[in-house]
Amino acid sequence: MIIVNALDMQKLKMLRASHWRLRDKDQRPLERLMDEIAHAIVMTPEQVPPDVVTMNSEVWIRDLASNERVTYTLVFPWKVDISKGKISVLAPIGTALLGVREGDVIRVTAPGGIRELQVGQRNLHPGALVEQIAYQPEAAGLAA
């Protein structure tokens, strides 16, 4: 079960109803996201545990097949900037990340096939893996 910040939930529902949705020819990513959050546990920002991926969280993920590590910040579609690691909540990885916890393994269907990714793994020192979300607005008291 995923956890979603109540303020994020409101914004995601507004996204669905907005004119932005009408400009996008392929509605499947938005519908997949709506299906995913339909069963979420909704909490106030203060209630969200600090190990949960929320909107604007910066997370480290590791591809279990290649062992490649990548840092992403989960953002709304209009804030995407791949060069800065900002991925849309509508991207397959973005939808899969929303609401999961550090250490969770997610399965993502991407253009190259199904990928298994572990959330919150960062290599701080050679051989040392530490589970961590680098930044979560709720934990920082900045959820809005």
pLDDT digits (tens, 9 = 90+) for 76-116: 998 999 999 999 999 998 999 999 988 888 888 877 788 87
pLDDT, tens only, 5-33: 999 999 998 888 775 555 655 678 888 89
Residue 126 lies in a domain: yes
- The answer to whether residue 71 sits within a structural domain is yes
Position with higher pLDDT, 51 vs 122? 51
Domain count, the chain: 1
Residue 140 forms part of a structural domain = no
One DSSP character per residue, 43-89 reads E-TTTS-TTB--TT-EEEEEETTT--EEEEEEE-GGG-BGGGTEEET
The CATH number for 12's domain is: 3.10.50.30
Query: How high does pLDDT run on average in the chain?
Result: 81
